[in-house]
């Protein structure tokens, strides 16, 4: 049976009526195992694996933070100030747990005392009155709960009661309100952003955002995970120290229900549609809830996800370069990669050696939660770095020759809509020789009023345009919610010397260009020569069109450039470059450009277009991309028309490969010949 299939909603009611032991210390920990404190001290204190988190926590300027807490906090800043206080509380509480640093414990206490002064713990309201916990209230509730548990007897009984009682009102209940509203949106009066908060001072571009459908939209995304998890964690902490009540039973029933629904939000293979950044954020909160609910005997949600599949997803979405060893395939809004905590938990939970290796070697950092889940009894196992193709259940495709910075990787974003997506169907990313050579521009603004928001559109990606137009996307007025755009992988495979796939994005384009009959993109990735052949095929019903295949260079660091001639183009980075050449019976031209956004941002995103010249109803455009080590092009790439199609030849270092594309129907066929 699939591991995730073992999670059943029936666990919602399991043991919810159990009684609470009289003494809190007789109960299991909510956040950690009290019997393993010596192990946490050992891992954190001496293991080189945790050197980065030691450095991170030691670098916190406690004098600066105390000054902030005592004189600089704005008690209506639920966007930044309360988040800073809550996160600092968690960091200092765990630092005390790992080291017995009493000054850290004192700072954690001061953070909680400061939280108590905030009259509201989040900036969302229901009906203009009741606080809805989506991010800051959950973070604050977790902060209070972990400080109470980690500091133990350093918190007096009176303080503990005051803190937990306040947490229940300002944190736990708002988390219940948000998750209950997602479960039963018909009971929501109407969510809004609190105008008494400083939120719009920080983000004026988000005035006018439409939250009317947010209870429905958020029910399937990352913003359900943190209130669901915080609801469980804070309810269990309240129950542990103050006893079971009708409220704790109500909170825990809702928490178990909301957490269990993520069984159907993640893909069957463990992939997560919002990308790696949001995947880690979401999964860490789920892991914490799963661990606490099971430890307390409330519900066993250990089979919630395909955990080993999720770990594979993290691995296959890695895109390490020389400058960014923890780089990722950054489809849509994904920014940075995953931290180690979830991988360490998966390693301990499933005895997966790959997960331990990933947490130690490829994770962005060992975050401050990670020592809690580390298990050195699991043998670390590095992945086998051989050429292979990964086809996610999301219809995301990644081909690679290995996991090192210099290895060759090509990726395509096919599949359906999701939160935090862009209009990026059939867009591609190419990395080789330690450099990102064809990229998905990094994380454009969320606010639709920002001029750079248009980088979320198809024209802001290494994708296909039809007469300069992309496929369907949202207008941004509801935030970063999902569109209706869908693409599907219709064929894929691996051969001895190459791998390939074809994505059909016809539905996505037809939503805005109804004359479209078919839009497919085929990618052929050679293994022996690091080269990519892109075959774009567009068929129209009545009106002839021109198409443009756009390729963005990486220039966020100011070190990338593009150039074009009459027969090819060149993308250059400091230690690698990429030559491109194309062919179509409709003719081709090469042009470089910058997106139509403010100049200081536009310069970060140089691109080259290969455009067909004669309008046609049946268009095939073949583009060959050849990476080379060094800043000067090497090898040879050429594309020519032949009978029934086109021929692309790539050669380097005495090795030549010929790819013949037969232009037949909606999906051209091809053959690859080693010469």
Same domain, 432 and 506: yes
Distance from C-alpha of 404 to C-alpha of 306, rounded to nearest angstrom: 26
Q: What does the block give as tokens for 54?
A: 């030691």
Same domain, 338 and 461: no
Distance from C-alpha of 352 to C-alpha of 28, rounded to nearest angstrom: 25
Q: Please give the tally of structural domains in the chain.
A: 2
Q: What does the block give as tokens for 511?
A: 């939503």
- End of a domain among 347, 372, 397? 372
- Domain membership flag for residue 303: yes
From the number of C-beta atoms within 10 Å of its C-beta (0-12, 13-18, 19+), residue 450 rates as middle
Same domain, 454 and 341: no
Residues contacting 179, CB < 8 A, separation 6+: 224, 227, 228, 231, 254, 255, 257, 258
- Domain membership flag for residue 586: yes
The candidate with the shortest Cα–Cα distance to 308, out of 237, 262, 358, is 358
Same domain, 193 and 321: yes
SS3 for 177-195 is HHHHHHHCHHHCCCEEECC
> In this structure, what CATH number is given to the domain that contains residue 342?
1.50.10.100
Residue 26: per-residue pLDDT = 62
Residue 25: per-residue pLDDT = 56
Same domain, 366 and 398: no
User: With a threshold of 0.75, does the pTM exceed it?
Assistant: yes
Domain assignment of residue 105, given as a range: 3-372
| Residue count of the chain | 675
Same domain, 518 and 566: yes
Same domain, 456 and 536: yes
Residue 28: per-residue pLDDT = 86
- Domain membership flag for residue 381: no
- Domain membership flag for residue 266: yes
- Domain membership flag for residue 278: yes
pLDDT beneath 70, residues of the chain: 1-26
Residue 309: per-residue pLDDT = 98
Same domain, 92 and 230: yes
**Angle formed at CA 180 by CA 179 and CA 181, multiple of 5 degrees:** 90
- Domain membership flag for residue 331: yes
The candidate with the shortest Cα–Cα distance to 182, out of 142, 139, 141, 223, is 223
> In this structure, what CATH number is given to the domain that contains residue 497?
2.70.98.70
Residue 631: per-residue pLDDT = 86
Distance from C-alpha of 264 to C-alpha of 8, rounded to nearest angstrom: 11
Tens of pLDDT, residue by residue over 206-237, are 999 999 999 999 999 999 999 999 999 999 99
């Amino acid at each position: 049976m699939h591991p995730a299939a073992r999670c059943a909603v029936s666990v919602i009611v399991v043991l919810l009526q159990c009684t609470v032991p009289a003494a809190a210390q007789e109960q299991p920990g909510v956040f950690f195992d009290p019997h393993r404190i010596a192990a946490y001290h050992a891992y954190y204190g001496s293991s080189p694996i945790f050197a980065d988190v030691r450095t991170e926590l030691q670098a916190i300027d406690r004098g600066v933070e105390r000054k902030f807490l005592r004189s600089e906090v704005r008690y209506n800043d639920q966007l930044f100030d309360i988040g800073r206080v809550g996160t600092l509380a968690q960091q200092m509480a765990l630092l005390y747990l790992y080291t017995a640093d009493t000054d850290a414990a004192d700072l954690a206490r001061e953070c909680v005392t400061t939280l108590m002064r905030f009259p509201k713990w989040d900036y969302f309201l229901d009906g203009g009155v009741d606080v809805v916990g989506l991010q800051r209230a959950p973070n604050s509730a977790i902060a209070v709960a972990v400080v109470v548990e980690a500091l133990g007897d350093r918190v007096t009984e009176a303080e503990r009661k005051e803190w937990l009682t306040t947490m229940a009102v300002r944190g736990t209940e708002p988390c219940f309100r948000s998750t209950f509203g997602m479960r039963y949106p018909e009971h929501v009066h109407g969510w809004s952003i609190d105008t008494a908060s400083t939120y719009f001072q920080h983000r004026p571009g988000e005035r006018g955002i439409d939250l009317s459908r947010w209870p429905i939209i958020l029910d399937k995304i990352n913003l359900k995970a943190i209130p669901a998890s915080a609801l469980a964690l804070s309810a269990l902490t309240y129950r542990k120290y103050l006893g079971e009540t009708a409220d704790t039973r109500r909170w825990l029933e809702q928490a178990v229900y909301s957490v269990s629904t993520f069984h159907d939000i993640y893909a069957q293979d463990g992939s997560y549609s919002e990308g790696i950044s949001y995947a880690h954020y979401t999964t860490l909160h789920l892991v914490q809830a799963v661990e606490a609910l099971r430890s307390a005997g409330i519900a066993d949600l250990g089979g919630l996800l395909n955990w080993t599949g999720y770990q594979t997803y993290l691995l296959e979405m890695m895109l390490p370069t020389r400058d960014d060893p923890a780089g990722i395939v950054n489809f849509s809004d994904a920014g940075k990669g995953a931290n180690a905590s979830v991988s360490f938990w998966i390693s301990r939970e499933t005895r997966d050696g790959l997960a331990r290796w990933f947490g130690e070697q490829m994770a962005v950092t060992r975050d401050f939660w990670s020592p809690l889940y580390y298990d050195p009894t699991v043998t670390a196992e590095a992945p086998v770095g051989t050429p292979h193709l990964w086809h996610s259940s999301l219809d995301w495709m990644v081909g690679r020759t290995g996991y090192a910075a210099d290895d060759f990787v090509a990726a395509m974003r096919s599949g359906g809509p999701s939160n935090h997506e862009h209009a990026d169907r059939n867009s591609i990313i190419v990395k080789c020789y330690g450099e990102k050579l064809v990229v998905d521009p990094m994380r454009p603004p969320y606010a639709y009023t920002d001029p750079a928001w248009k980088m979320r559109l198809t024209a802001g990606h290494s994708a296909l345009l039809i007469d300069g137009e992309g496929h369907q996307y949202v207008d941004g007025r509801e935030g970063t919610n999902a569109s209706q755009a869908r693409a599907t992988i219709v064929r894929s495979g691996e051969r001895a010397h190459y791998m390939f796939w074809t994505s059909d994005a016809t539905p996505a384009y037809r939503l805005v260009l109804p004359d479209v009959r078919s839009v497919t993109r085929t990618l052929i990735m050679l293994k022996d020569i690091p080269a990519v052949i892109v075959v774009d095929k567009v068929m129209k019903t009545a009106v002839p069109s021109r198409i443009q295949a756009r390729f963005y260079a990486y220039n966020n660091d100011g070190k990338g450039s593009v150039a074009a001639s009459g027969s090819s183009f060149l993308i250059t980075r400091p230690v690698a470059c990429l030559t491109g050449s194309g062919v179509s019976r409709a003719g081709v031209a090469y042009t470089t450009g910058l997106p139509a956004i403010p100049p200081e941002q536009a310069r970060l995103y140089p691109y080259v277009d290969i455009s067909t010249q004669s309008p046609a109803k049946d268009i095939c455009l073949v583009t060959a991309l050849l990476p080379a080590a060094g800043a000067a092009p090497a090898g040879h790439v050429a594309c020519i028309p032949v009978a029934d199609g086109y021929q692309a030849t790539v050669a380097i270092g005495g090795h030549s490969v010929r790819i013949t594309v037969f232009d037949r129907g909606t999906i051209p066929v091809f053959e690859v010949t080693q010469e």
